Amino acid sequence: MLESLGLLTGSPWIYAVVAVSVLLDVFLPVLPSGVLVITAATAAAAGTTTVVSAAGKVGQGQVPQEVPSLLLLMLCAFSASVLGDLVAFRLGRHGGLGRAIARSRRLTTAQERLGTALSGGGGALVVIARFAPAGRSVVSLGAGAAHRKVKEFLPWSALAAVAWTGYSAGLGYFGAQWLGSTWIGVALSVLALFGAGSLAAYVIRRPGPAGTAAA
């Protein structure tokens, strides 16, 4: 599996795979979009996509491949993140999500707080939720179901995409610079991403202006 990831990061298809994964994880939060971004950024920093062992030795029979562009990877991830948010926003606005929310007191409370935060310029919740497991889904669908205006939601979605993309790519890139392009370095970077997600989930669950109390 690790060798397959290493070969993928050396292919032009990595950009499409990252974009599709980031686009769809608003509906399927189990997709490893963050892991893909970290792995590709690690390859970009290493200057080669050859799979390297924890001991730092190149596998026998493997050859260096094309190095992905960090800037292009980040652009793909950013664009797909904003597009996915907008698709979920539109579905929440025009779909049957409103009736489902109305049947849940906790989701209704979350929707009201989200609407208040967005209309009052406090859309930092959208940025925080981008890091939390399934938080992006709840916020994007909820904002649409709350019939918020696109101009209220889109700037915060873009800021969330910048923050998440920069953090994920930064972990991979600088992790490779500091720890070397080994799978141990990738694993530590992924743990740091999960750590940020856990912290974001905690903040969202807290009662008060920053939390939804129902995420």
Question: Using one digit for the tens of pLDDT, what is the confidence trace for 93-102?
Answer: 876 555 555 5
Burial class for 145, CB neighbours closer than 10 Å (0-12, 13-18, 19+): buried
Whether 169 has a pLDDT exceeding 90, the answer reads yes
Q: Model-level pTM?
A: 0.76
User: What residues does each domain of the chain span?
Assistant: 2-205
User: What mean pLDDT, rounded, does the chain reach?
Assistant: 76
Q: How many whole angstroms separate alpha carbon 149 and alpha carbon 29?
A: 25
* Residue 130 Cα distances to 26, 45, 63, 86, 178, angstroms: 9, 25, 37, 13, 26
Residue 199 has pLDDT above 60, yes or no: yes
Least reliable range by pLDDT among 44-58, 115-129, 138-152: 44-58
Residue 172 CA to residue 176 CA, distance in Å, equals: 6
pLDDT band of 42, cuts 50, 70, 90? confident
Which H or E run contains 127? helix 124-129
Q: Residue 64 corresponds to which tokens in the numbers above?
A: 């260096």
pLDDT of 103: 57
